[in-house]
Chains A and B, each alone.
Chain A
Amino acid sequence: MVEENAIVQLKKLSKRFDQDQDVLSDIDLEVKEGEFISFVGPSGCGKSTLLRMLAGLTSVSEGALLIDGATPTEPRDDLYLVFQEANLLPWARVRENVELPMKLQGKPKITRQAVADAIVELVGLQDAADRFPRQLSGGMKMRVSIARALSVSPRILLLDEPFGALDAITRNQLNEDLLKIREKDPFTAFFVTHSVAEAVFLSTRIVVLESNPGRIADIIDVPHSYPRTVEFRESPEYFDLLARTSKSLRQQKGESE
């Protein structure tokens, strides 16, 4: 039954808090290894809640959430979350922040340093490795946060509006960098965003959610192959997808208001 390379399966997944109405309802989604799934939808439709369920931070109310065909019973080593805020330890230098997940996993210092050095370079922060978070710009902090998540080479990376607080130029740059990193160090991504442009540029599929309760309203395929470069951003295909996704999203917003 389980398709060979389905890494995550959501089956009639529902979520409610307390006795309230469903926040998420009947979510059916099958994701293959290596996909890049973006979630867009009105504020409050349950995007963060969905990621938190995938991360094991909150329970599933109904239906099933399968990773590698099984219901996860504890946080997984091969899954990591990037939060909306960079969420760095203020008392730790960049390098120490990047090493944190490995330190918590009990990896020896030598391994940690080697991996951290490589990843800090991958995200272009080698000159800032010994700085404290307060000495970094918003974009740099986000790079550290991503480097930290990559340090455990996750197979699944959850990103909850990671670039939401950044300006458009920095955001575009980080989008391109994120894809470059993924070329070198592949992972399956679940990416929440409010930016349709970002979703189109990054994803293999865009899941449009409606709210009250949160349901899948539309799934838009982005067939363009990787690596994606700036040219993709200027192609008619890109603008077409942008228009389709925006329209779909607008319909959801309209209904919920």
Chain B
Amino acid sequence: MAEQIRLTDIQKHFTVYERPDGKWALLRAAFSRKARRVQALDGVSFRIGEGEIVGCIGPNGAGKSTTVKVMSGILTPDAGECLILGRTPWKERIAHVSQIGVVFGQRSQLWWDVSVADSFALLKDVYAIPDGQFARRSAELIETLDIGGLLKTPARQLSLGQRMRCELAAALLHSPKILFLDEPTIGLDAVAKLTLRAFLKEENRRSGVTMLLTTHDMDDIEALCRRVIVIGRGRLLYDGAIAGLRGKYAAREGQDIDEIIAAMYRDMALES
């Protein structure tokens, strides 16, 4: 299994400005801002091989999205190394992003007032996809994601679940080698979640695309990933099979996975 992604000791901090509170807060805010440093990533390292599906979990504010942004080449870390398909994402952004696909559950990458079909046609130009390949691939994605009826609709008129399916098709049209998904199932109904999982699994099996997805839904992880990465407070806390987490944190036999994860998060909070 060839290695495709390697992160070594990635660090990233943000500076957040706080408004002073109390009397005259607004007035004082005009003159002084209190800066606070937030260490979003504090030395994250992992490797992912070709064709793997890796789930990334962690409490809110742990640094999952930040990790995905660094790997997508849209955020430059303070320190550390990141090699994806032999490239450093933020140094060769354009070459890098033409090889990967990214889906953010909470954000749209489609053109708002352009119909889905037109968006696909634009992406064909953007990624220079040859005619034959485009025809084949788009037909395939339209069928498996069942978006044939949405093609004439502008993205802004789609419902969340409809949009998500179109986003996925748009991210896979150019047959990327790697797909990053940041909370792809957020806000989806039960049927849509199941469809999405089945689709991702099938896509991985058929075209061997490597996937890394972040989620808060443990069912996503159980359905899709053999391997999980746990990030907490900007650090990598666990990397391995889900069974290992069960073994470490389950208080009793047959405990619900969400309870186990909650126990783990509580444990982490105590540790530091």
Q: Are A and B subunits of one complex?
A: no
